[in-house]
Amino acid sequence: MTAAPRTAHRTAMGAGDDLVRCPLMPTYGAPTVQFVRGEGAWLYDRDGRRYLDLLSGLAVTSLGHAHPAVADALAQQSRTLLHVSNLFGTEPGAQVAITLDRLLGGGGQVFFCNSGAEANEAAIKLARKWGGHGRYQVVSAYGSFHGRTLATLHATGQPSKWEAFQPLPEGFRHVAWDDLDALEAAIDDTVAAVLLEPVQGEGGVNPARAEYFRGVRRICDERGLLFMVDEVQTGLGRTGRWFGHQHFDVTPDVVTMAKALGNGVPIGACWARADVAAAFRPGDHATTYGGQPLATAAARAVLATMEAEDVPARAARAGRLLADRLGALPEVADVRGLGLLLAVELVGLDARDVASAALAAGLVVNAVTPTALRLAPSLLITDDEVDHAVEAIAALLTTTPRST
Ligand SMILES: Cc1ncc(COP(=O)(O)O)c(C=O)c1O
């Protein structure tokens, strides 16, 4: 059977004729807007309409769009050295590894890759190599999201997403989120590691409780397991700390990250305690582009800007402001999350209707569950932009038709 052409691409809002029948696989919903430019917290479509971006390309452009420090770093690096492969060393990658290790407390080593899923793949392979023969299982939580490659899909605790892709790689167990007894019960001699997000982002923006993370750390210590924390969505200032787990006063053995690290340039990283990282020997793991100078020059500029701007403190402050003001709206049941990774739980409204109406009104948000909007704006969002966001959302919540 032939798939229908994606004629649904054409919409009223800034989508051009070239989107009417573009030969893209139908893995994503039909796009409703074609953006051509961004600046700070704002996006512009091809008709010149502007939108306040409260999503940051799914928590990626944490410094806003077209940040000059990142743009300059890319331009300069592209004229200097783009790529040489991991057969050779380059300067920016080494510097980014040093900075990430410092932000994570030191004593670790970094493997660079190109995405969040690849960072988690590296962590999973490291856990297997570290665990040795017979000790290979990774335990993760229901409701989690760890990526779409076959292994990270199985680590993802959402069985509905597994269905069409069986058989998935072996070696994954899932337990109820926030349930230490369930975790204890899932551990036997075949388990090497536990993999958790500090805030389940795709699962609905559900922050872990500090007691849960501390309990997981204790169990991992008692049973000789690695505690691996997926900071792909939460890492690098988003939650009001450099890394989400730092809210809970635990020290993980492995941390993965991606998204904000390149502010839009694809790069991921897997950090591990040095004695754990030592399980990898030359030839055990690799990727052609991992740590290449173009991506790491961007990451170096991102990290330098984040440190200069103290983005964790800015995210904590702006997040409190947004949460307090949105939480006071009558159509909002509660606002949950950490820093600038927030879910706005709505009363009697379908979040998908509100997200569509928001786009039409010049505001980018997404429905992270049928009843909650996710907000993950630029960590450099200004107070005026917060005012604009709150006023626009308040207006939308009163004008969007109520779900029954
Ligand atoms: C927590 C988490 N882990 C992993 C991933 C996968 O990252 P990527 O889409 O870059 O492969 C995501 C993506 O949303 C994520 O939120």
Task: Indicate the SS3 state at residue 363.
Answer: strand
The reply to whether ligand 1 has any atom less than 6 angstroms from the CB of 45 is no
pLDDT at 404: 67
Choose the catalytic residue: 45, 53, 178, 230.
Answer: 230
71-93 residue pLDDT tens: 999 999 999 999 999 999 999 99
Displacement of CA 246 from its chain's centroid (Å): 16
Q: What is the pLDDT of residues 269-300, one digit of tens each?
A: 999 999 999 999 999 999 999 999 999 999 99
Alpha-carbon span 98 to 374, nearest angstrom: 32
Cα–Cα distance, 404 to 394 (Å, whole number): 20
Q: Which of 112, 145, 213, 248 is catalytic?
A: 145
pLDDT digits (tens, 9 = 90+) for 195-213: 999 999 999 999 999 999 9
pLDDT tens track for 210-243: 999 999 999 999 999 999 999 999 999 999 999 9
Measured CA distances, 403 to 336, 357, 366 (Å): 22, 14, 17
User: Residue 26 contacts by C-beta under 8 Å, 6 or more apart in sequence?
Assistant: 3, 6
Query: What DSSP line would sit under 91-145, residue for residue?
Result: HHHHHHHHHHHHHTTSSEEEEEESSHHHHHHHHHHHHHHHH-TT--EEEEEBT--
- Dist CA 258 CA 269 (whole Å): 6
Could you give the percent of the chain with pLDDT greater than 90? 92
Determine the angle formed by the axes of helices 293-309 and 68-78, rounding to 10 degrees. 150
Cβ of 137 less than 6 Å from ligand 1: no
Which atom, in ligand 1's list, is nearest to the CA of 58? 14
Question: Does the beta carbon of 378 lie inside 6 Å of ligand 1?
Answer: no
Cα separation of 44 and 263, whole Å?
18
Ligand 1 atom 3: the closest Cα is on which residue? 146
Mutate to test the pocket of ligand 1, among 112, 202, 261 (most ligand atoms within 8 A of CB): 202
Specify the residue for token string 């958790």.
196
The angle, 0 to 180 degrees and rounded to 10, between the axes of the packed helices 293-309 and 311-327 is 70
- Ligand 1 centroid, distance to 269 Cα (angstroms): 12
Whether ligand 1 lies within 6 angstroms of the CB of 117 is answered as yes
Q: Kindly tell me the number of DSSP H helices and DSSP E strands found in the chain.
A: 13, 17
Ligand 1 within 6 A of 238 CB? no
Judge whether 280 and 287 are in contact, CB under 8 Å. no
Provide φ and ψ at 326, rounded to 5°.
-70, -35
Would the pLDDT of 2 be above 80?
A: no
Give 336 or 17, the one with higher predicted confidence: 336
Q: In angstroms, what is the span from residue 145 Cα to ligand 1's centroid?
A: 7
In the residue annotation, 259 being an active-site residue is answered as yes
Beta strands, E only, 179-273: 191-196, 199-200, 206-207, 226-230, 254-257, 268-273
| pTM over cut 0.75 | yes
Q: Is the CB–ligand 1 distance for residue 237 below 6 Å?
A: no
* Backbone angles phi and psi of 197, in degrees to 5: -95, 145
Task: Return the bridge partners of 191, or none.
Answer: 137
CA of 403 to the centre of ligand 1 (A): 31
Q: Kindly report, residue by residue over 40-51, the tens digit of the pLDDT.
A: 999 999 999 999
Residue 12 confidence (pLDDT)? 44
| Digit-coded pLDDT (tens) for 156-172 | 999 999 999 999 999 99
Query: How close is the Cα of 381 to the center of ligand 1, in Å?
Result: 23
Please give the distance of CA 349 from its chain centroid, rounded to a whole number: 26
Output the CA 328–ligand 1 centroid distance in Å: 31
Residues 6+ apart with CB under 8 A from 86: 286, 288, 290, 291
Cis peptide before 198 (omega within 30 of 0): no
Ligand 1 atom at shortest distance from the alpha carbon of 266: 10
324 is catalytic: no
Could you give the strand order of the β-sheet that contains 42-45, starting from the edge strand earlier in sequence?
Answer: 35-39, 42-45, 50-53, 363-364
Q: Judge if the beta carbon of residue 230 lies within 6 A of ligand 1.
A: yes
Checking DSSP bridges between strand 108-113 and strand 42-45, what pairing results, if any? Answer: unpaired
**Is residue 125 annotated as a catalytic residue, yes or no?**
no
User: For ligand 1, is residue 202 a contact (CB within 6 Å)?
Assistant: yes
Q: How far is the CA of 180 from the centre of ligand 1 (A)?
A: 24
Question: Is 374 a pocket residue for ligand 1 (Cβ < 6 Å)?
Answer: no
How many CA atoms lie less than 13 Å away from 241 in the CB half-sphere? 16
